[in-house]
A and B are shown apart, each in its own frame.
Chain A
Amino acid sequence: MVAAFIHRAIMQGIPLLFGATGEIVTEKSGNLNLGIPGVMYVGGISGVIGAFLYENSLADKSQANGFLAIMIPMLCCLLGSLIMGLIYSFLTTTLRANQNVTGLAITTFGVGLGNFFGGSLIKIVGADVPSITLSVTSKFFSASLPFASNLGWFGEIFLSYGFLAYLAIIIAIVTSLYLKKTRSGLNLRAVGENPATADAAGINVTRYKYVSTCVGSMIAGLGGLYYVMDYANGIWSNNAFGDRGWLAIALVIFTVWKPNFAIIGSIIFGGLYIVHNYLNQFFPFIPVDMSTQELIKMAPYVITVLVLIVNSMRRKRESQPPEALGLSYFREDR
Chain B
Amino acid sequence: MATITKSTGKEPLFHIVRRTDMPIWKSWLIRILSVLASLIVCAVIIVLVTGDNPIQIYATMFKGSFGSPRRFWALLQGIAMLLCVSLALTPAFKMRFWNIGGEGQVLMGGLGATACMILFGNKLPAPVVLLLVIVVSILCGAIWGLIPAVFKAFWNTNETLFTLMMNYIAIQIVSYFTYIWSSNKGNNVINTINNDTHAGWLELPSSVDKYGYMLNVLIVAALTIMMYFYLKYSKQGYEISVVGESENTAKYAGINVKKVIIRTMIISGALCGVAGMLLVSGTDHTINPDTAGGRGFTAIMVSWLAKFNPLFMVVTSLLIVFMQKGAIEISTQFGLNSSFSDIITGIIIFFIIGSEFFINYKIQKRAKEVEA
Interface stretch, picked from B22-30, B60-68, B211-219, B351-359, is B351-359
Contact with A along B343-366 (1 / 0, CB 8 A): 101110110011011001100000
The interface residues of chain B lying within 8 Å CB-to-CB of A128 are none
CB proximity of A112 to chain B, nearest CB, Å: 2
Chain B nearest Cβ from A145, distance in angstroms = 36
B300 / chain A contacts, CB cutoff of 8 Å: 100-101, 104
* A196 on the B face (CB < 8 A): no
Cβ of B235 to closest chain A Cβ, rounded Å: 27
Residue of A at shortest CB range from B100?
A100
Contacts of A302 in B (CB 8 A): 169
Docked pose: A264 CA to B222 CA in angstroms: 51
The contact of A250 among B165, B186, B298, B354, by CB within 8 Å, is: B165
Complex alpha-carbon distance, A96 and B354, angstroms: 9
Interface residues of A in 81-115 (CB under 8 A from B): 87, 91, 94-98, 100-102, 104-115
Give B168's nearest chain A residue, CB to CB: A301
Q: Which B residues lie within 8 Å of A114 (CB)?
A: 339
| Nearest chain A CB to B9 CB, angstrom units | 16
A281 close to B (CB within 8 Å)? no
User: Is B151 in contact with chain A by the CB < 8 A criterion?
Assistant: yes
**Residue A124 contacts which of B49, B162, B165, B301 (CB distance < 8 angstroms)?**
B49
Known: A294-B179, A301-B165. A108 touches B346 (CB 8 A): yes
CB of A241 within 8 Å of the partner chain:
no
CB <8 Å contact, A112 and B339: yes
CB distance from A277 to the nearest CB of B (A): 16
Query: Is A59 engaged at the interface, CB distance under 8 Å to the other chain?
Result: no
Is A313 touching B155 in the complex (CB atoms < 8 A)?
Answer: yes
A33 → chain B, closest Cβ, in Å?
12
Find out whether the CB atom of A105 lies under 8 angstroms from the CB atom of B168: no
CB of A328 to closest CB in B, whole Å: 10
Asked if A109 and B350 sit within 8 Å, CB to CB, the answer is yes
Known contacts: A91-B354, A119-B339, A332-B17. The answer to whether A112 contacts B158 by CB under 8 A is no
Determine if A112 and B155 form an interchain contact, defined as CB atoms under 8 angstroms apart. no
Q: How far in angstroms is the closest Cβ of chain B from A3?
A: 28
| A112 with B343: CB separation less than 8 A | yes
Interface size, B (range):
35 or more
A308 on the B face (CB < 8 A): yes
Beta-carbon contact of A291 and B336 below 8 Å:
no
Contact in complex: B301, A104 (CB < 8 Å)? yes
CB-CB contacts below 8 Å: B318-372 with A: 335-343, 345-347, 349-350, 353-354, 356-357, 360-361
Distance between B297 CB and nearest chain A CB, rounded to angstroms: 5
Q: Which of the segments B117-125, B170-178, B241-249 contacts the partner chain?
A: B170-178
**Given A104-B300, A112-B342, A298-B169 in contact, is the A308-B354 Cβ separation under 8 Å?**
no
Q: Is the CB of A238 within 8 A of B337?
A: yes
Do A118 and B337 touch (CB < 8 A)?
A: yes
Q: Are A123 and B336 in contact (CB under 8 A)?
A: yes
Which of chain A's residues 115-135 have a Cβ closer than 8 Å to chain B? 115-116, 118-120, 123-124
Give the residue of B49, B175, B343 whose beta carbon is less than 8 angstroms from that of A109. B343
Q: Which residues of B sit under 8 angstroms from A304, Cβ to Cβ?
A: 165
In this assembly, does B156 line the interface, its C-beta being within 8 Å of a C-beta of chain A?
Answer: yes
Asked if A139 is at the interface (CB within 8 A of a chain B CB), the reply is: no
Interface assignment of A330: CB less than 8 Å from any CB of chain B: yes
Closest to B180 in A: A291
Residue in B closest to A113 when the chains form the complex, CB atoms: B343
| Distance, CA A289 to CA B340, complexed state (A) | 36
B residues in contact with A250, CB < 8 Å:
165, 168
- List chain A residues, Cβ under 8 A from B151: 309, 312
A74 interface residue per 8 A CB criterion: no
Provided the pairs A109-B347, A312-B156 are in contact, do residues A100 and B98 lie with their beta carbons within 8 angstroms?
Answer: yes
Question: How distant is the Cα of A298 from the Cα of B170 in the complex, in angstroms?
Answer: 9
Instruction: Please state if A95 and B98 are interface contacts (CB–CB under 8 Å).
Output: no
B361 x A96 contact (CB < 8 A): yes
In contact, A308 and B349 (Cβ under 8 angstroms): no
Query: Per a CB cutoff under 8 Å, which of B158, B169, B297 touches A308?
Result: B158
A321 at the interface (CB under 8 A from B): yes
Contacts of A249 in B (CB 8 A): 161, 164
Per-residue interface assignment for chain A, residues 277 to 306, with 1 indicating a CB less than 8 Å from any chain B CB and 0 otherwise: 000000000000111001101100110110
In the complex, which residues of chain A have a beta carbon less than 8 angstroms from the beta carbon of B162?
Answer: 305, 308-309
In whole angstroms, how far apart are the Cα atoms of A253 and B157 in the complex?
12
CA of A113 to CA of B342 in the docked complex: distance in angstroms? 8
- With A and B bound together, what is the CA distance between A297 and B173 in angstroms? 10
Q: How far is the CB of A200 from chain B (nearest CB, A)?
A: 16
A318 interface residue per 8 A CB criterion: no
Point out the residues of chain B lying under 8 angstroms from A309, CB to CB: 151, 155, 157, 162
List 5 interface pairs A-B (beta carbons < 8 Å), by A numbering.
A109-B347, A291-B176, A297-B175, A298-B168, A308-B162
Given A97-B354, A308-B162; 12 other pairs, CB 8 A cutoff: A91-B350, A108-B294, A109-B345, A116-B339, A116-B343, A119-B337, A294-B175, A295-B176, A297-B172, A308-B157, A309-B162, A332-B17
